[in-house]
Structure 1
Amino acid sequence: MSRWFTVPFRRSASAVSNSRGFGSILFALLFLIPFFTFSFFIVEHTQLRLMHGMADDAVVMSALAALKGTYSYGADFAYEDISIDPSDAYSTFREYLSKNMKLDGSLNPLPGSIAVSPVEILDFRVYNPGSYPAFCPGGVYINAPSIHVVISFQVDRPVLRGLFGERVTMKVHRDVDIFCRF
Structure 2
Amino acid sequence: MSLREIIKVPDPRLRMPCAAVERFDDALRQLTIDLVDTMRAAPGIGMTAAHVGILQRIVVIELEDDPVGVRAYVNPIIEWSSDDWVVHEEGSVSMPGVSDEVERPARIRLRWQDLDGAWETAEADGLLAVCLQHEIDQLDGIFWTQHLSKLRRDRLTKRYEKLQRLATRPKAVVADQPKA
Which TM bucket (shorter chain)? Answer: under 0.3
Q: Which has the higher contact order (CA 8 A, sep 6+)?
A: 2
> If each structure's helix is expressed as a fraction of its own residues, which one has the higher value?
1
Find the structure with the greater CA-based Rg: 1
TM-score (norm 2): 0.22
